[in-house]
Every structure is written in C-alpha cells, then in structure tokens.
Structure 1
Amino acid sequence: MRFPQNSGHWLKHRGVLALLGALLLSVTLAGPVFAQLGHAVPGQIGLQDSATPIDTEIRTFYNGILTPIIFAVSIFVGALLLIVIFRFNEKVNPTPSMLTHNTTLEVAWTIVPVLILVFIAIPSFRLLDHELVIPKTDLTVKVTGHQWYWTYAYPSDGFDFDSYIKADKDLKPGDLRQLAVDNEAVVPVNKTVLVQVTATDVIHSFTVPSFGVRIDAVPGRLNQTWFRATKEGIYYGQCSKLCGENHAYMPIAFRVVSDADYAAWLADAKKKFSANALPHYADAAPAVARN
C-alpha cells in the first residue's frame, strides 16, 4: 500500500491525534456535571445557578458573549497552529521563505483584537454599572471579615453574631463539609439587601457566586454591594483572598427564606444575640473549633 506524498507527516503525529480523540470521547461519555443551586459540585461545568438578577446578567454575558468569542478565537488560533505545523515545517519546505513582514497582515491582527475587545467592553461596562448603582434597599447587613470567621450585623435590628465553620464532628445530615457554618446569615426572599463589607485585620474577599457578589473586605474601609435573591434556599460562598493560615476555613452561608420565616428568625435572633456574648474583635480562634 502506498501513501500519498507527505502522508508520513500525518502518520508521525497519529499517536497524538489518537490520544486527543480518546480524551474527547472519554469526556463525552462521562457527561458533564451541571451547576446546582447554592453551591458547586465536583466535576461541575459552568457557573452556579443564578439566584439574583445581577447574577443572571453575569451568566448571560458569560454564556452568550464571552464563551462564543473565546471558542471562536481558540478554534481559529488552533487551526493556524495546525497549518503552520503541517505546511511550514522543515521537511515540507527545505528552502525557507525570505518573507520578513506583511503590513496588511500586521494591521489586521492589531485592529481585529481591538474591535473584539471593544465589543466585549460595551456589555461589560453596562453590567458593571448595574452592580455599582445600588437601588433602594429593604435591609442592610454589615459583614466584617476576621482571621478566620465572619461577623454579620443587622444595624436596624440592633444585633450581630459571629459565623464559624462547622467542625467535622459537628456536621449533621445535609451539611456540606467545609461550607456549613454554625450561624447562617438570613435574609428575606425578593428583598433588596445592602451589604456593607469591611475587615479588622487583613484583606479578605466576600464572595457568594450564586448572588453574583464578590467584594473585598479591607481594614479601615467600608465597601458596599447589593443583591436581591429571588429563590429560597441556602447559598454558600468563601473568602476569595489569601488571608492567612486558615484562609480555606472561613465559608459564607446565606439562607434565603419567606417573609414569615424571616420574621420568626428575626424574633429568635434578637433574643439569642442581644446579649452579644462573643467579643467582636477577639483574638482569632482556630477556624475549625469555636470555644
């Protein structure tokens, strides 16, 4: 059997092509794990399910604009690389070209990326404007980051509480390891919540993916963001700034409930936390154990 001219170059790389094909087949057969409400799952593909209008806009921007552009650019660049590998190698072209530049091509590969970035920037700035402009709020929650726990204050109701990660021995059925906390922040559904964020020691980052919220907690500075959760449930986040030894052990948990359930929780919380038994700025306790 005789192969066409230059087919040896394809045969030489058949092992690599076969490996790529096998990887693609295995991923296809395994099937993706899609997002769930409130937290990520192992093997997940894509962002967490949206629970706020802002996060819905983020997902639309990501899935409808960024992902197709990235996919198209990746395919285009990959095709160019394959062309260069198989058409312009030393064996196929023993005599190298003396071409040094092409003005038209250089102008094109400068202008086209700029136009792509401008196209991305327009909806990006619009989304950023929606996040920065805080509408009329129904509730204010002040969040303070510490090494390594969070304090939630409800100024209009006159109480606050600390929220620590649950130790493994304290987990109950349904609790998520490394995400469950002893005291969850609770907010009513379909209400605009103003979140004021600061810190007492180092820079932390307050992040709740399903809310589309991520904002730095900086000592001496009060940053603000907002969300309006439209679905009841519990939503988890984590500190997203490397803040010390136990950075991985300061999760965030918000429980979104109905107005009636929120009123009941609020009445209990005022009794439970009114004594304010825990000092706000005490020396940090180990993240996995609260004394």
Structure 2
Amino acid sequence: MRRSIVSRFAGLFATFGVAGMSLHGASALAQEAGAAGQPMVGAPHAWALGLQPAGGVVKEAIHDFNQLVLWIIIVITAFVGALLAWVIWRYRAEKNPVPSRTSHHTLLEVAWTVLPVLILVVIAIPSFRLIYWEDRAVDAEVTVNVTGRQWYWHYAYPDQGNFAFDSYPIQEADLKPGQLRNLTVDEPLVIPVDTNIRVITTGQDVIHSFFVPSLGVQKYTIPGRTMETWMRADRVGTFYGQCNQICGTNHWFMPIVVRAVPKAEFEAWTAAAKQRFAQVGGAPAVATAGKAEADTTQLADLRR
C-alpha cells in the first residue's frame, strides 16, 4: 500500500516543482529520529505547517494522498491564474473596443465538463482505496476496545487477559515538566510497535471520536454500535490525540495518548496491567472505582 497508486500519482505531480521535496519535511525528520532510536512524539507544534509527522503506515498513506491532492490543486490554480491573466491582457478594452459576442463553443463546453470529471476520477480512485484500507484490520495481532464516555476514555484488551481501565486527563496544576497541557493523561493506551492493532469503538452515552492524527486513526464511538478500524506504529514513541466530535460541556476533557513500545516491553506491561486493573465479578477494582468517583466530582466542579 505504501507504494500504491497514491504514491505513483504523487511522484508524477511532484515533477512539476521542487516544493514537493519539502512537503514531508516534518515526516522525514520523524522517520530519521525513529531510525536513530529516538522516541517519536506525535503532537501538534506551534507554527507547524502541514499534517503531523507519520508514526505508521496508515498516516504515511494519508500523507501520500494529501500530496497527490495538493499537487492537483497547485496545477489547477496555476492554470486558472495564468488563463485569467492572459484573458485580462488579451481581451482588455484598449485592444478590443468592440467585444466579441461569441458563445456556445462546443469544444470548450465539452472540455470544461470532461476535464473536471477526469480530475475527480484521479482523486476518487486512491481515495476509495485508502478508505477501504483503513476500514478493516488485516492479520491483527492485538485488539483494543475503545469506549467513549462523558468525558473520558475506557480501554479494554480482550485478547491480552481481558483487563480494562479508564484514561483521564491530568489537570494543569498537576502537570510535571515535559507533560503537554490538555493532552497528557494518567493512563495511556499502550501498544507494541510493528504490530497491526485492531481498534473496536463504541460509545456509552453520546457520539465521541477516537482521533490520533500522527497514527492516521479516526473513528466515531457511537452508542449501540461497534465500529472497526486499525492502526500501526512503526516506531517507538508517544502519540497524542483528542476527541474531535463535539460531545458536550467537557468535550475538551478527552485527550488521547497512545504509547508505542517494543514488543518485549508491551508483554511486561500487560503482565503488570492484569494485576493493576484486575476485574472482580465483572466490575472494576475498588481503586479504579474510587478514582472514577473522585474524577466525576472534579468534573462536576468544572461544570460550575
């Protein structure tokens, strides 16, 4: 999929100029950092331009498609701008004091109907390919259940011991040095690198949205429905996201943190997590319930 029709079209349009060499500058830097063994941080940056750097194959495919559409827009804009400038110069009043009343030019009418259709086909084919590619996990090794709740996330690992936990944002007053405001959580979603992760989403109360830009994953969590998507982190790092569906008063209070770790570290984490988030009779452990109650009280204070 990486070198699919999307990439080939993108390479074709990139020959029209050198700007394409810098379009994925941030992504290239992220890949170099990953190759050098430095953990990647997938988060928004001040004055950043373009999409967030890619942390996996899905986002790389999205980058390719974005580049394809960008170059199509550049070519169309340049052509229309040049055509408009030529018309203004060629048919100005000084040169054409008696304007022509020619109309119904068959060739032009066919051209400006057929060309947009062809452009849309060029965009639609890789677009549909990408949408269907993101829709279902192929050979997934890990499944994660994601439940959107007002206003926090609930994660479960059904095939890793069937443990579950809640993920709450850390208050600004409790942030430690290096932690991101409004994006850091107490319990991140942990996944192994170089692994296809099946993501099953649902909602408990209203519609939320599980959105992690640098991993190229976005899926609604709808009450009464289960929906599937997938993600894959190709390098160790921490990837930040947020609910991007306006879901109520504390919509801003639903950040997402996905921490990608080596497979050996993930196995050690799951072994410890089974003990930390032990289930008793199908209900969360007392410590988790008490924490949820405290955070619910905190949310109520924020609403006031």
Letter in 2 for 1:200: Q
State which of 130, 135, 142 in structure 2 corresponds to 1:132. Answer: 135
Aligned counterparts of 1:287 and 1:178: Cα–Cα separation in 2: 18
Task: Tell me which of 247, 261, 276 is aligned to 1:272.
Answer: 276
1:119 aligns with 2:132: no
Q: Does 1:208 align with 2:212?
A: yes
Given that 1:200 and 1:281 are in contact with CA atoms closer than 8 Å, whether structure 2 keeps it comes out as no
The two structures, once aligned, show a CA RMSD in angstroms of 2.7
| Residue 89 of structure 1, CA deviation | 5.5
Per mean C-alpha deviation after superposition, the further-off stretch among 103-112 and 33-42 is 33-42
1:79 pairs with 2:82: yes
Distance 1:203 1:269, change over 3 A: same
Which residue does the alignment assign to 1:104? 107
The separation in 2 between residues aligned to 1:60 and 1:245, in whole angstroms, is: 36
The equivalent of 2:175 in structure 1 is: 171
More divergent stretch after superposition (100-109 vs 271-280) = 271-280
SS of corresponding position for 2:109 = helix
Cα distance in 2 between the residues matched to 1:123 and 1:287: 46
Q: 2:221 maps to what in 1?
A: 217
In the TM superposition, what whole-angstrom CA distance separates every residue of 1:72-99 from its partner, at most 9, and x where no partner exists? 0111122233344555566765544323
Deviation at 1:115, TM superposition (A): 0.5
Cα distance in 2 between the residues matched to 1:137 and 1:162: 23
Aligned residue in 2 for 1:26: none
Per the alignment, do residues 127 and 279 of structure 1 end up closer, same or farther by CA in structure 2, a change over 3 Å counting?
Answer: farther
Q: Determine the structure 2 residue equivalent to 1:28.
A: none
Give the C-alpha shift of residue 188 in structure 1: 1.1
Moved more, 52-61 or 34-43: 34-43
- Range with bigger deviation, 104-113 or 129-138: 129-138
Could you tell me how far 1:148 is from its partner in structure 2? 1.6
| Pairing partner for 1:231 from 235, 248, 256 | 235
- What amino acid is aligned across from residue 251 of structure 2 in structure 1? H
Q: Output the CA distance in 1 between the equivalents of 2:76 and 2:170.
A: 44
TM-score, normalised via structure 2 length: 0.76
Tell me how far apart the structure 2 counterparts of residues 83 and 124 of structure 1 sit (CA, whole Å): 34
Of the candidates 246, 249, 252, which is equivalent to residue 242 of structure 1?
246
Q: Secondary structure at the match of 1:271?
A: helix
163 and 95 in structure 1: CA distance in 2 versus 1, 3 angstrom threshold: same
**Aligned pairs for 1:19-98 within 5 A:** 34=26, 37-63=41-67, 65-88=68-91, 93-98=96-101
Q: 2:267 aligns with which of 263, 267, 277?
A: 263
Which shows bigger deviation, 137-146 or 269-278?
269-278
1:151-166 → structure 2 map (5 Å cutoff): 151-156=154-159, 157-166=161-170
SS of the counterpart of 2:190? strand
Query: Aligned residue for 1:198?
Result: 202
User: Aligned partners of 2:48, 2:70: CA distance in 1, in Å?
Assistant: 16
Find the structure with the greater CA-based Rg: 1
Rounded Cα–Cα distance in structure 1 between residues aligned with 2:169 and 2:298: 11
- One-letter code aligned to 1:278: A
Conserved 8 A contact 1:250-1:287: no
Tell me which residue corresponds to 1:286.
299
1:153 partner letter? A
> CA-to-partner distance for each residue in 1:202-245, whole Å, 9 max, x for gaps?
11111111211111111110001112211011111111111122
Q: Does the CA-based 8 Å contact 2:51-2:63 persist in structure 1?
A: yes
Once the two structures are superposed, what CA deviation does each residue of 1:136-191 show, in whole Å capped at 9, x if it has no partner?
22111111111221111112322211111211111111111121111101111112
Aligned residues: 257
> In structure 2, how many angstroms separate the alpha carbons of the residues matched to 1:176 and 1:145?
21
Larger mean Cα displacement after TM superposition, 133-142 or 106-115: 133-142
Residue 141 (structure 1) aligns with? 144
**CA distance, structure 1, for counterparts of residue 181 and residue 93 of structure 2:** 56
Determine the C-alpha separation between the residues in 1 that align with 2:182 and 2:238.
Answer: 15
Q: Percent identity?
A: 46
